[in-house]
């Protein structure tokens, strides 16, 4: 595939002299296929697929098997054409730049039919997952997917502007370093002033500047008065995201003026790798503003195969869902794209810490001069663009490439290993790492994920076992072992990937499928599953603890199976995440001090089975509702070991908290509470996980009349003075497929409206596990979902994302609980 960009310039006379001009070429273009058989209008930013869809030449690319049927689009060559006029003769400008912010990387650019540029790397710097992944389709796009413009000037031009807040640990003061790069085309000295203003910090600073011909960098240093209180930026759940409005104005000779405004945030970040008592190896955790922070969150993938469809509203919806689920961190995965500016601005605003991969994933890359030059330019640009964002707390060189090389993923011949190791060090250490550390000294750089951190460095940048639990971060997946068994999981320092698959809801799938597809064994279901044996592995995990659906109605059986995959996924990730949270403060057999849990993955790129907790379009899966609980600031965690029930308390709070633990036992056959006990008040220290309660299960059940493992379930919560401090958690004493006394529940809802929020007053006839409230395709989320209902009534709120009505919700509402699938 080859993209040709033809720009036809028609000058409009001499016009008026001007110092700087920027002409946007966004908007309406024309495109045609290689042989000219297809000619149509196209929007820029955009891509060929979007243009064809908008003209109804193709259907929704995500519909059914269209990712196969529309391969011809990527295999063809396409030409974009734009005719435009300029209001002055180009000869009046000293320099003219044609700037493409985002363009297909295999392209020829022509101006008035004369080639002026070409992009054609041996290894295309493309969104890598656009060629397919185990959660996404293959849609390699062609087009101009970001802004395009002409910049012309005859004195100088401001190329880039960035700033870095720096904390002086000795003086205990904040300073601000501002860097601006100018392209000076005038042969004469350009003089002027740089004026920096941050009103809220009482800063108004003027500096005289002189710019000589060539590429010139102006560095401004702003010292903030020690007497002024500077509020720091904190991750979500740990404080405010205070920012300060700053303006920087350059007033230069001849009335030339450049003005930049930005939000400035102040925070420090440190990656701590130090010895741990009673454990070999080193810690691996982040300090923000001097405070150790447990990273709670997920992994971000591109929100759409067609990046021109990723709107501001879509980004805000997805990122708001992150903090609404008590997360504080995301890892931007290295097989996608460097996200748009608004993504990082929203993360700054919402308090979402970003682990930023560079875009290298699961592959061996070349180190020839052309490729290295391209990567050097790419990394330099991204560091300059992103370094001012407080949300980014670490750079990471790649995704899984250290592990791939050292664990033999690609069956590389032993004789070539040293060559590959040399190439790896050349690319990620001598090239990328060097550029990052030169351009940004305010945050750590990690060569890969997973990695052994300091140990990897000591071993020459590649460890024989990058999954060493005593160092760095790990990725962990196991779809065969019982996910309810906490012993399955690694007691690691930091777990940056882990997870289980599920299917999206029927209302999401329905949009891209037809009736013949609505079976778990259909061609469509097999086609959408890109993980080898993935559908069967989900059924395997379900069958360990639940009954498989057996309805004779095919559609009902399909919907029940979709529901159970989400139940399974939510329960598996809950069990695993709670294991990591309770491992925060303890060392067991030399392992522990876990300080991060980022499950794979947050969002979906299309409608298909995946590891996500948010479906394509933003609908919350059951897992996302569970995450709201298992990432709560204060959480009781229950588990068993050798017939003994243990309950831990995990705290992310900044201060010690006095509370009590209440443990209750319910029977599946009745809404009446069987028995309950509460502990004496105790204190959980800030930022710790501690053991609160132990009791043999037989002893616990002995005190609860009629209870056996199969007939009863345990719930527990933390409170003070009758006020609930934590979610109500639960522990199953047996697999639910063996539950005795579990009946089908008749659950009804009375819906009312309070302002923009809708109130669902629920009533149930029986105890019901995994109660799932669904309103189809009406966009929004509930305050809670997928819950264990042990009382006759419960009130849940629905927060719509678009205007809706009580009657619309009543028509769309459907409720499912576990026994409904029997």
Which amino acids are annotated catalytic?
A: 400, 497
Pairing of strands 106-111, 3-11: parallel
In whole angstroms, give the CA distance from residue 359 to residue 651. 34
- The owner of tokens 């891209």 is 512
Which residues partner with 41 through β-bridges? 30
3-state DSSP assignment of residue 118: strand
Residue 463 CA: distances (Å) to CA of 409, 471, 490 = 15, 11, 18
- List, in order, residues 6 or more apart from 401 with CB less than 8 Å away: 360, 361, 362, 363, 364, 365, 424, 428, 448
| Burial 269-298, CB ≥16 within 10 A → b, else e | bebebeebeebebbbbbbebbeeebbbbbb
Question: 168: how many CB neighbours lie within 10 A of its CB?
Answer: 12
CA 315 to chain centre: 10
3-state secondary structure of 422: helix
Beta bridge partners of 3: 78, 107
Distance CA 172, CA 163 (A): 20
The rounded radius of gyration (Å) of the Cα atoms in the chain is: 29
Q: Supply angle C-alpha 715, 721, 727, rounded to 5.
A: 35
Angle, helix 341-350 to helix 312-324, in steps of 10 degrees: 30
From the list 135, 255, 181, the residue with the least C-alpha distance to 607 is 135
CB 718 within 8 A of CB 725: yes
The separation between the first and the last C-alpha atoms of the chain, rounded to the nearest angstrom, is 52
Using CA atoms, how far residue 427 sits from 306, 391, 409, in Å, is 29, 26, 19
| Separation of alpha carbons 353 and 694, rounded Å | 35
Tokens of 503: 């299917």
Secondary structure (3-state) at 523: helix
405-409-541-626 Cα dihedral, nearest 10 degrees? 30
Segment (H or E) for 80: strand 78-86
Q: Which phi and psi angles does 607 have, rounded to 5°?
A: -90, 100
Helix (H/G/I), strand (E/B), else coil: 802: coil
Q: Which residues pair with 678 in a beta bridge?
A: 662
Burial class of residue 637 in the structure, from the number of CB atoms within 10 Å of its CB (0-12 exposed, 13-18 middle, 19+ buried):
buried
Q: Cα–Cα distance between 746 and 236 in angstroms, integer?
A: 39
Count how many residues are written for the chain.
Answer: 822
Q: Which secondary-structure segment (H or E) carries 628?
A: helix 622-630
Cα separation, 312 vs 309, in Å, equals: 10
Distances 806 to 715, 795, 801 between C-alpha atoms, Å:
33, 16, 14
Q: Which two tokens stand for residue 560?
A: 């029940």
In the three-class reduction of DSSP (H, G, I as helix; E, B as strand; rest coil), residue 276 is classed as strand
818's torsion region: left (phi>0), alpha (psi -120 to 50) or beta?
alpha
| Alpha-helix residue ranges (DSSP H) falling in 546-603 | 554-582
Q: Where are the alpha helices (DSSP H) in 287-443?
A: 312-324, 341-350, 369-386, 401-406, 417-424, 434-439
Q: Is the dihedral of CA 138, 142, 147, 152 positive or negative?
A: positive
> Which 3 state secondary structure label does DSSP give 333?
coil
């Amino acid at each position: 595939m080859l993209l040709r960009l033809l720009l036809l310039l028609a000058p409009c006379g001499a016009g008026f002299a001007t110092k700087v001009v920027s002409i946007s070429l966004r908007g309406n273009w024309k495109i045609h296929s290689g042989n000219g058989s297809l000619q149509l209008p196209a929007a820029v930013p955009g891509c060929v697929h979007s243009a064809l869809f908008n003209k109804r030449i193709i259907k929704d690319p995500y519909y059914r098997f269209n990712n196969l049927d529309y391969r011809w689009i990527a295999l063809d060559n396409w030409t974009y054409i734009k005719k435009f006029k300029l209001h002055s003769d180009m000869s009046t400008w000293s320099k003219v730049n044609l700037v493409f912010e985002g363009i297909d990387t295999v392209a020829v650019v022509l101006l008035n039919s004369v080639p002026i540029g070409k992009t054609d790397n041996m290894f295309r710097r493309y969104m890598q997952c656009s060629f397919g992944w185990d959660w996404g389709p293959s849609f390699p796009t062609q087009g101009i997917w970001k802004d395009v413009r002409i910049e012309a000037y005859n004195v100088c031009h401001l190329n880039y502007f960035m700033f870095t807040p720096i904390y002086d640990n000795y003086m205990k003061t904040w300073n601000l370093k501002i860097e601006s790069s100018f392209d000076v085309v005038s042969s004469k000295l350009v003089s002027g002033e740089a004026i920096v203003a941050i009103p809220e910090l009482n800063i108004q600073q003027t500096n005289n500047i002189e710019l000589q011909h060539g590429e010139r960098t102006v560095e401004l240093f702003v010292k903030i008065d020690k007497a002024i209180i500077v509020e720091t930026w904190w991750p979500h759940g740990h404080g405010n995201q205070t920012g300060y409005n700053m303006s920087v104005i350059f007033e230069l000779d001849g009335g030339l003026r450049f003005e930049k405004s930005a939000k400035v945030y102040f925070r420090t970040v440190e990656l701590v790798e130090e010895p741990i008592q009673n454990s070999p190896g080193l810690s691996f955790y982040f300090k923000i503003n001097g405070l150790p922070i447990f990273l709670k969150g997920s992994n971000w993938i591109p929100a759409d195969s067609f990046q021109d469809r990723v709107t501001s509203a879509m980004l805000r919806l997805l990122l708001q869902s992150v903090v609404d689920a008590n997360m504080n961190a995301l890892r931007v995965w290295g097989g996608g794209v460097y996200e748009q500016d608004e993504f990082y601005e929203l993360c700054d605003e919402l308090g979402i810490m970003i682990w930023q991969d560079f875009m290298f994933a699961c592959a061996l890359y070349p180190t020839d001069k052309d490729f290295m030059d391209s990567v050097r330019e790419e990394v330099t640009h991204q560091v300059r663009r992103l370094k001012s964002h407080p949300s980014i707390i670490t750079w990471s060189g790649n995704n899984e490439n250290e592990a791939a090389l050292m664990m033999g993923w690609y069956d590389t011949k032993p004789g070539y290993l040293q060559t590959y190791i040399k190439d790896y060090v050349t690319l990620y250490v001598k090239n990328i790492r060097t550029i990052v550390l030169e351009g940004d000294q305010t945050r750590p750089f990690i060569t890969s994920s997973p990695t052994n951190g300091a140990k990897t460095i000591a071993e020459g940048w590649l460890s024989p076992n990058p999954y060493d639990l005593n160092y760095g971060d790990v990725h962990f997946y196991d779809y065969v072992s019982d996910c309810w068994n906490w012993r399955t999981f690694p007691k690691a320092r930091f777990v940056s990937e882990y997870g289980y698959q599920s299917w999206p809801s029927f209302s999401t799938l329905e949009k891209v499928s037809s009736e013949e597809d609505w079976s778990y064994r259909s061609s469509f279901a097999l086609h959408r599953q890109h993980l080898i044996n993935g559908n069967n592995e989900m059924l395997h995990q379900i069958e360990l603890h639940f009954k498989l659906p057996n309805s004779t109605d095919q559609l009902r059986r399909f919907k029940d199976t979709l529901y159970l995959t989400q139940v399974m996924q939510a329960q598996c990730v809950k069990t695993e995440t709670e294991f990591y949270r309770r491992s925060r403060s303890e060392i067991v057999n030399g392992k522990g001090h876990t300080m991060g849990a980022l499950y794979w993955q947050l969002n979906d790129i299309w409608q298909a089975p995946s590891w996500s907790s948010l479906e394509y379009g933003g609908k919350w899966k059951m897992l996302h509702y569970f995450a709201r609980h298992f990432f709560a600031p204060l959480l009781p965690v229950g588990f068993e070991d050798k017939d003994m029930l243990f309950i831990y308390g995990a705290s992310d709070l900044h201060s010690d908290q006095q509370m009590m633990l209440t443990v209750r036992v319910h029977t599946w056959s009745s809404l009446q509470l069987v028995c309950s006990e509460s502990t004496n008040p105790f204190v959980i220290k800030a930022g710790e996980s501690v053991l609160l309660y132990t009791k043999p299960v037989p002893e616990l059940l002995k005190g609860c009349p009629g209870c056996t493992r199969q007939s009863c379930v345990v719930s527990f919560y933390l409170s003070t003075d009758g006020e609930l401090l934590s979610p109500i958690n639960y522990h199953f004493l047996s697999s639910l497929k063996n539950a005795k006394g579990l009946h089908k529940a008749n659950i009804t809802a009375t819906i009312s409206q309070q302002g923009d929020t809708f109130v669902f007053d629920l009533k149930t006839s029986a105890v019901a596990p995994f109660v799932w409230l669904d309103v189809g395709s009406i966009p929004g989320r509930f305050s809670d979902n997928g819950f264990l209902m042990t009382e006759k009534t419960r009130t849940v709120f629905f927060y719509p994302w678009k205007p809706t009505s009580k009657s619309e919700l009543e028509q769309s509402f459907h409720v499912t609980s576990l026994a409904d699938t029997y």
